[in-house]
Amino acid sequence: MIREFQSDLDMQRITMNDPVRDHQICVCVRKRPLSKKELNRKEVDVITIPDKETTVIHEPRTKVDLTKYLENNKFRFDYSFDETATNELVYRYTARPLIETIFNQGMATCFAYGQTGSGKTYTMGGNIVGKNQDCSKGIYALAAHDVFKYLKNPKHKNKDLVISCSYFEIYGAKVFDLLNKKRKLRVLEDGNQQVQVCELQESVVNAVEDVLKLIEIGNRLRTSGQTSANQNSSRSHAVFQIILRRRGHMKGGAGGQLYGKFSLIDLAGNERGADTSNSDRQTRLEGAEINKSLLALKECIRALGRNGAHLPFRASKLTQVLKDSFIGENSKTCMIATVSPGMNCCEHSLNTLRYADRVKELGPDNKKGGEDYIAFDDTPDVVSPTLSSGDPAASNADLALLCTHSGSGEAEQNELYTFHEAVSQLQDAEEQLVECHKKSVEETKALLEQEENLLDKVDDVDSDLEQYVQRLDVILKQKIDNFTNLRGIHIWIGKQISYNFTCVKCTEPEITVGHRMYVRTNLHLVRPSAKLVGLFFQIKNTSPFC
């Protein structure tokens, strides 16, 4: 049936000679070829790309009378790449136009989204052979090559720019520096409401080879794990940034006035957001966080295309650290949706295409007209640079906005909001516990020194026993308060962790019927935390260590 469908098509593949359109938001899809394992299993290729913009996925269905048929789901994107497309071809239409943006003092974002094994890491990072990766063939390296090429251009040479790179991952709601031994980082807002990733290491690079070394270092530290869909699934969002700064404003290292930034993102495998079968509690929490971050990312990109629309960047850590890429007229974003062609991956591929379709919503039959093409004109737009963790009320408002865009009814939206709010409270409480534990250890060390000094003095001939007893009493009370406060928070966290989340399978990375069932099933397990939250913050506000 698929061959009959394809036989009636006039196939028109995209080539290196086609024009590159100028998009503020570019959404494309890339289909990989069938793998050797899939060919050995004689899997059917269920994805057809008939032209430069259209992608069709043939979904096997069964009628009431058990008659089998194919449902041809048609999607239209800015570009559609079939299995013959090379990384160089994909790069030409996706990331390459964004290089000009950062040299015009803009912010650019290019991210790969899809099921693990669909070609995300191959597209962004290059060919993988065994456990080794040839980073010279991916979009990271191609973008770095063009950045250095632009830097040598007479138009940009007198701008006195320096190139640096950073590489970090977002796992759950935590940020880790992949270039600094996976050090945990804090994400705060400054007085100008600019989001800062505190103590993120930036490394100055002078050649493409320097960039490739940094990518290799970061890739070795990236978090991965097993899902029901893949043995080695990415459990985190990896963000590699190429940063331009003015040399005249350098303050040592890679510091200095920001000129432009290109964020290249390899998102967590989207099957992790739906993977609940035979999963432990940690995997289920990962899935909940991935669901939320992908929904937040979609809404932020959609807001970028609607002037004046509210940007719900506080709804997830991913969109929070990418805030500067979604604001300003000189911000551009490109999404590369990667899909697997095999019949066994049909459901995941269909979910990927639906997600990509909702990002821009071109529609399968609405042909474009009057589009601009890349002109590479220099139109500068200056980027603007007291830190705080952000406004909790604003974060809750952004989360509520996401729930209203989930396509569910009011009651389901409330359930969804309550569930994700409870998960966020659990994540915040975990960070507070670790922070309080660190401060408790520091305080214990200080008290231990005081005790040693007290013991040294009590051996003196003229020591005062009464003063010794009084001082020891003060130290002991401080130690008791220290451990009591820490123990109270520890008990509260322990009760939350002890709840066993029973998962119901989700079929999409967004909030769907399956996810709403998941929320309803687990809501009674996280609701009791509301009472404990009050106790926790009472302890937190009265504790001298938190």
Known binding residues for ATP:
114-121
Q: What SS3 state is found at 225?
A: strand
Tell me how far apart the alpha carbons of residues 500 and 281 are, in angstroms, rounded to a whole number.
7
Token couple for 466: 């009464």
Checking DSSP bridges between strand 132-134 and strand 161-171, what pairing results, if any?
unpaired
**311-314 own/partner pairs: CB under 8 Å, 24+ apart:** 312/398, 312/399, 312/401, 312/402, 313/195, 313/398, 314/390, 314/391, 314/394, 314/395, 314/397, 314/398, 314/399
Q: What SS3 state is found at 345?
A: helix
Tell me how far apart the alpha carbons of residues 215 and 153 are, in angstroms, rounded to a whole number.
25
- Residue 274, number of CB atoms within 10 A of its CB: 28
User: Is the separation of the CB atoms in 339 and 280 below 8 Å?
Assistant: no
Using the structure block, give the residue that is written with the tokens 């070609």: 119
Residues 6+ apart with CB under 8 A from 448: none
Q: List the 54-62 sheet strands across, edge first.
A: 47-48, 54-62, 68-76
Using the structure block, give the residue that is written with the tokens 């890429």: 325
Write the secondary structure of 267-280 as one string of H (helix), E (strand) and C (coil): CCCHHHHCCCCCCC
Residues 6+ apart with CB under 8 A from 239: 167, 168, 169, 170, 263, 264, 265, 321, 322
CB half-sphere exposure, 67, CA atoms < 13 A? 4
- Rounded to a whole number of angstroms, the CA Rg of the chain reads 26
User: Is the separation of the CB atoms in 270 and 348 below 8 Å?
Assistant: yes
Q: What SS3 state is found at 60?
A: strand
Q: What SS3 state is found at 113?
A: strand
Q: 281-304 and 346-360 helices cross at what angle (nearest 10)?
A: 30
Angle 157-163-167 (CA atoms, 0-180°, nearest 5)? 160
User: Is the separation of the CB atoms in 414 and 520 below 8 Å?
Assistant: no
Nearest Cα residue to 319 out of 215, 421, 175: 175
Annotated binding residues, written as ranges, equal 114-121
12 phi and psi angles, rounded to 5 deg: -130, 100
